[in-house]
Chain A
Amino acid sequence: MNAPAGQPRLPFGLSGSPGRIVVWTLLFLGGVVMISPFLFMISSSLKTPDQIYDLRLIPERPTLENYVALFRDSLFLKWFVNSFITSTLVTLSVLFFDALIGYVLCKYDFRGRTFVFIAILSTLMIPTEMLVIPWYLISAHFGWIDTYWGIMFPGLMTGFGVFLMRQFFQSVPDELLDAARVDGLGEFRIWWTIAMPLVTPALSALAIFTFLGNWTAFLWPLIVTNSRDLYTVPVGLASFAGENLTRWEVVMTGAAVATIPTLIVFIIFQKYIVRGVVLSGLKG
């Protein structure tokens, strides 16, 4: 809603009434409360054990010693690599397959199309919690416990991504694809070189959410990894924090290390992320 007509326009888009300034201030203070856990987390991670009781946000003698010790004495770096590799590979797979399935279900008319679409869509109703036990049994049977493949395989394709991509391929005109067929392009090439570039906004949203979803995933990696070397960041952090229960500056450093990458992703891709939430939210 815009400012009511007739009021003088002030800079910054404030319409100047005291009520609006109060609203702005309250919203801002609420926002500060929202991010205060991050501020306290980072502040504590820069403190020495004897300063941790000090509530001051800016430490008296900030130190990176906790971070140095963390990477020296724990397996965080390894967990980082595990999380990074598995999240990246899952994201690539989801982008490739979900886009391909969505494209086929949108642009190809064939008998059984509706059935396949509804079948894939119905998987959205199955909660992960119900599948983890059979997934664990499958993994145990095939020796996938404590492997990257074991961490990754359940997420390689998603019903949500198929649904999202199918919606977005509807905006790609059929005439364009048919023109490419007349030019003699193969079906795979048409999808990859003509249709895919036209849905990059949806692909980027799907990529960001898949990556973050896998980066922060906890339940399945917790189940499928037993060896500390194979932990992902959240699983590693949970075990690390449990072992350093009373050394809160150490725990906060671990939490900060786990969180900072997602904050960086957010700062870089902020616009895409917010747009993606709205797109997927309203269409999903």
Chain B
Amino acid sequence: MKHLYNRLSFQQKKAYWAWLFLAVPILFFAAVRFYPTINAAMISFTDWNLLTEGKWVGLANYERMFTDKVFWKVFANTFLYLIVGLPVSLTLAFVVAYYLDQVRFMHGFIRSLYFIPYLTTAVAMAWVWRWGYQPAPMGVINQILSSIGMPQQPFLRSPNQALYAVLAPAIWAGLGFQVIIFMAGLRAIPETYYEAARIDGIGKLATLWEITLPLLRPTLVFIVVLTSIGLLRIFDQVYNMTVDGQGGPLNATRPLVLNIYNTAFKDFDMGYATAQTMVLFLVLLIITLIQLRLMRSK
């Protein structure tokens, strides 16, 4: 071996080492990422409950989605999380970042206050929020509402409010991350642009629209995609804030991932569950491709 190795050219030696170092990782990625992906796609064409042999059913699982009322509800919920969560969180984060960027006094401390929720366990925080939403005298939010003379709200008990009540802690947790990325984007804009705007006597609002936001576009695209993917995959909050983790009341809060979890690990309907994961995969893929498109077209 040693003899053979010494006869290799410099280039060949490098290639030898490269493949040697990559051998275990390639096995890992093949076995734990690529094989399961193909496996999931295959299972989605079968009817399989783990106990009996899986039966090939073609596109039946996909057809079933179209007539499954719960699936449509879940699909609509998932996008509602996105459509409401994205603009709300982005606006909040941008406003905070825009002003925090101008603040010097205790800058790091205030930034930490916004950032801390991002690092904490979503499960733990879901329970804290769930407690906060309880009817008075238990829940803090209803206690505050009643102390300022506002009517009590059912929050998690109402099919109309529950989704937003579950969404709030998700937005709250992600805000700090968005603020930090936004601030880094703001810092990257050269000061000369602002000086030029000042010399030309352009107002603050016009500067924001004409200079800051267009130059912030790469940052914006990045945050939009990451936030969208996060919101479409919402699970921890819903599982921990709804009764028995079922995404109720009346499936009002149930997102796609929770439906997949229930289909696979409560109903053991593996074919139908993986078919739904393929839908999730496609949706996320489309969003990522749109991002690549937006990043390229300057």
Spell out A's residues near B (CB within 8 Å): 1, 4, 12-14, 20, 23-24, 26-28, 30-32, 34-35, 37-38, 40-41, 44, 52-53, 55, 97, 100-101, 103-104, 108-111, 113, 116, 119-120, 123, 125-127, 129-138, 153-154, 156-157, 159, 187-188, 212, 215-216, 218-219, 222-223, 233-235, 237-238, 241-242, 248, 251-252, 254-256, 258-259, 262-263, 265-266, 270, 273-274, 277-278, 281-282
Cβ contact within 8 Å between A238 and B17: no
The answer to whether A108 touches B40, judged by C-beta atoms less than 8 angstroms apart, is no
7 extra A-B contacts, CB within 8 A, seeds A216-B120, A234-B122, A254-B127: A24-B105, A27-B103, A101-B21, A108-B15, A111-B15, A127-B284, A138-B36
Residue B58 at the chain A interface, CB threshold 8 Å: no
B116/A34 in contact, CB under 8 A: yes
Residues of B with C-beta under 8 A to A256: 124
A108 CB contact (under 8 Å) in B17, B37, B120: B17
- Chain B residues whose C-beta falls within 8 Å of the C-beta of A34 in the assembled complex: 113-114, 116-117, 172, 175-176
Closest residue of chain A to B129 (Cβ to Cβ) is A37
Say whether chain B's binding surface is mostly helix, strand, loop, or mixed. Answer: helix
Contacts A218-B235, A237-B123: A126 and B114 contacting too (C-beta < 8 A)?
no
Contact A28 B40 (CB under 8 A): no
Kindly list chain A residues whose C-beta atoms are within 8 Å of the C-beta of B43.
Answer: 133-134
7 intermolecular pairs with C-beta atoms under 8 Å apart:
A119-B34, A123-B34, A125-B284, A129-B277, A134-B40, A219-B261, A277-B177
B109-130 CB mask vs A (1 if < 8 Å, else 0) is: 0111111110111111101110
B228 at the interface (CB under 8 A from A): no
Q: In the complex, A87→B13 CA distance in Å? A: 36
Please state if A126 and B33 are interface contacts (CB–CB under 8 Å): yes
Give the contacting residue for A252; candidates B17, B131, B175, B229; CB below 8 A.
B131
B14 at the interface (CB under 8 A from A): yes
Question: Are the CB atoms of B22 and A30 closer together than 8 Å?
Answer: no
Q: Which of A123, A157, A255 contacts B128 (CB 8 A)?
A: A255
CB-CB under 8 A from A132, the residues of chain B are 264
Q: Are A238 and B138 in contact (CB under 8 A)?
A: no
B131's partner among A28, A116, A251 (CB-CB below 8 A) is A251
Stretch at the interface among B62-70, B81-89, B94-102, B150-158: B94-102
Question: CB-CB < 8 A to A130: which residues of B?
Answer: 36-37, 40, 274, 277-278, 280-281
A191 to chain B, nearest CB (A): 8
Looking at the complex, which one of B24, B113, B127, B194 makes contact with A32 (CB distance below 8 Å)? B113
A262 with B120: CB separation less than 8 A: yes
A238–B123 CB distance below 8 A: yes
Q: Is B29 an interface residue (CB 8 A)?
A: yes
- State A263–B122 Cα separation when bound (angstroms): 13
A27 to B181, CA, bound (A): 17
What is the CB-to-nearest-CB distance from A165 to chain B, in angstroms, rounded to a whole number?
Answer: 12
Task: Select from chain B the residue with minimum beta-carbon distance to A13.
Answer: B104
B123 lies within 8 A of A125 (CB): no
Chain B residues near A216 (CB, 8 Å)?
Answer: 120-123
A241 — which chain B residues lie within 8 A by C-beta? 127, 240
A38 to B120, CA, bound (A): 10
A64 to chain B, nearest CB (A): 19
Question: Are B40 and A133 touching (Cβ within 8 A)?
Answer: yes
Assuming the contacts A109-B11, A127-B281, A237-B121, asked whether A252 and B128 have C-beta atoms less than 8 A apart, the reply is: yes
Q: Are B14 and A109 within 8 A (Cβ)?
A: yes
Interface pair A187/B277, CB less than 8 Å apart: no
